[in-house]
């Protein structure tokens, strides 16, 4: 009888330990979150194996680069974006913004900088409301007619949902540009995920995204539509991490792009300057003006920026763990950013572009 009771307790405990989790809005990113990520690509990786109470072992992943995704309050974005995404009468107003790194544009006549994605975070869902960017140095906020739905809450196994989002705008000297985005999401597994960062209870979400572009050239008096290659995202989501613990994406055709939450694993020397990235995260770098400092030590610090001639052009005291600094008034170029604590000095090259 005693052996039977012990066995029954063990069975109940095992069932409780490995029961599937529920994901809610509390597990999504918030303003001032800076999430460290490792990034790599892979031409062949198993993304199809899934199911109930599944064990995914991706502990073999080896990153090529590391980065940090930065989320900010909307008031810290370009002033032209704020009224569009914080309208109190808009039921789809955004809750926070994600600072996008600047990317090389295929058309040299169109320069896109200062780009933010805007997200709506509610108890019922998490969705993308639109984006804002400087297009040829003109701040341009773009609001979707219907938010692009990423997750519905509570997120549970076998849940399915979808969204169809559109936007359009007139482009000076060009004509009209519009986009249609269809996203279909399915929770197709739950269990344990293992990465170089650790082991976690997760839900696995597969999203299929189809995008089409619509363009009309005034000079041609002619329009056309282009269907982009299908994008598939495999996301393993755990409690309280903001972003997926692991995301594997593939745009057909192409290699798998892999991002997973990680610790900062490197210490780098640049010229004679010591960079301790486990103590400070400075992002984005390069930057178009707004820089976020995430410090993981408790001391108050002095931040100073000098040009290559050694002339100090900016100083500020860092008291909080997260500090947003507007450097948009400083000329573009290469600078040395120095952070001084009571016992150490940390320096890093900073590029403003």
In a domain, 47, yes or no: yes
Q: Are residues 307 and 279 in the same domain?
A: yes
Q: Are residues 181 and 285 in the same domain?
A: no
Q: Are residues 230 and 323 in the same domain?
A: no
Residue 266 has what pLDDT?
42
| Mean pLDDT of the 92-121 span | 78
Q: Are residues 94 and 204 in the same domain?
A: yes
Q: For a pLDDT cut of 90, what percent of the chain falls above it?
A: 43
Residue 277 has what pLDDT?
43
Helix (H) or strand (E) holding 12: helix 2-17
Q: Are residues 245 and 278 in the same domain?
A: no
Q: Is the Cβ–Cβ distance between 223 and 198 less than 8 Å?
A: no
| Mean pLDDT of the 97-122 span | 76
In a domain, 97, yes or no: yes
Q: Are residues 205 and 223 in the same domain?
A: yes
**Interval 55-67: pLDDT, tens:** 999 999 988 888 8
pLDDT exceeds 80 at position 14: no
Q: Are residues 272 and 234 in the same domain?
A: no
Q: Are residues 194 and 342 in the same domain?
A: no
Task: Compare 131 and 216 and report the one with higher pLDDT.
Answer: 131
In a domain, 6, yes or no: no
In a domain, 131, yes or no: yes
Residue reference for tokens 């993304």 = 47
Task: Compare 161 and 16 and report the one with higher pLDDT.
Answer: 161
In a domain, 86, yes or no: yes
**In the predicted model, what is the mean pLDDT of the chain?**
83
**Interval 292-350: pLDDT, tens:** 777 665 567 788 888 876 788 888 877 766 677 888 888 888 788 888 777 677 777 78
Q: What are the residues facing 122 on neighbouring strands?
A: none
In a domain, 83, yes or no: yes
Given 217, 242, 261, the domain boundary residue is 261
Q: Are residues 230 and 83 in the same domain?
A: yes
Q: Are residues 223 and 322 in the same domain?
A: no
Residue 65 has what pLDDT?
83
**Interval 136-146: pLDDT, tens:** 778 889 999 99
Given 240, 261, 282, the domain boundary residue is 261
In a domain, 3, yes or no: no
pLDDT exceeds 60 at position 274: no
CA 139/CA 141 separation, integer angstroms = 7
In a domain, 5, yes or no: no
Count: domains in the chain:
2
Domain of residue 149 covers 21-261
Q: Are residues 165 and 299 in the same domain?
A: no
Given 230, 261, 292, the domain boundary residue is 261
Q: Are residues 128 and 218 in the same domain?
A: yes
H helix intervals, 113-183 = none
| Mean pLDDT of the 170-177 span | 77
Residue 15 has what pLDDT?
40
* CB-count exposure of residue 128 (10 Å: 0-12, 13-18, 19+): buried
Radius of gyration of the chain from Cα atoms? 23
């Amino acid at each position: 009888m005693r052996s039977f009771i012990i066995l029954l307790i063990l069975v109940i405990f095992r069932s409780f330990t490995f029961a599937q989790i529920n994901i809610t809005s509390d597990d999504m990113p918030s303003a001032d979150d800076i999430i460290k990520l490792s990034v790599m690509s892979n031409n062949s990786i198993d993304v199809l194996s899934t199911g109930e109470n599944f064990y995914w072992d991706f502990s073999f992943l080896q990153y090529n680069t590391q980065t940090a995704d930065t989320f900010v309050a909307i008031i810290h974005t370009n002033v032209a974006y704020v009224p569009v995404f914080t309208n109190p009468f808009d039921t789809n107003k955004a809750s926070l913004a994600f600072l996008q790194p600047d990317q090389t544009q295929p058309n040299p006549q169109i320069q896109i900088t200062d780009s933010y994605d805007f997200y709506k975070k509610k108890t019922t869902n998490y969705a993308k409301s639109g984006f804002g960017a400087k297009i040829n140095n003109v701040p341009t906020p773009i609001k979707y007619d219907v938010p692009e739905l990423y997750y519905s809450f509570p997120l549970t196994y076998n849940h399915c949902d979808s969204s169809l989002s559109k936007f359009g705008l007139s482009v000076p000297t060009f004509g009209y540009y519009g986009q249609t985005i269809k996203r279909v999401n399915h929770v197709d597994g739950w269990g344990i995920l293992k990465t170089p960062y650790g082991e976690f209870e997760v839900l696995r979400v597969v999203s299929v995204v189809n995008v089409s572009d619509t363009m009309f050239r005034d000079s041609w008096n002619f329009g056309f539509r282009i269907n982009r290659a299908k994008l598939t995202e495999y996301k393993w989501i755990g409690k309280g991490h903001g972003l997926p613990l692991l995301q594997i994406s593939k745009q057909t055709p192409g290699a798998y792009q892999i991002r997973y939450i990680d610790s900062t694993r490197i210490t780098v020397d640049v010229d004679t300057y010591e960079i301790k990235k486990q103590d400070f995260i400075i992002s984005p770098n390069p930057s178009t003006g707004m820089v976020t400092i995430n410090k993981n030590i408790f001391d108050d610090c002095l931040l100073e920026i000098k040009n290559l001639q050694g002339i100090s052009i900016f100083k500020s005291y860092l008291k909080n763990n997260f500090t947003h600094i507007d450097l948009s008034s400083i000329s573009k170029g290469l600078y040395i950013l120095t952070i001084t604590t009571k016992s150490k000095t940390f320096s890093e090259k900073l590029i403003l572009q």
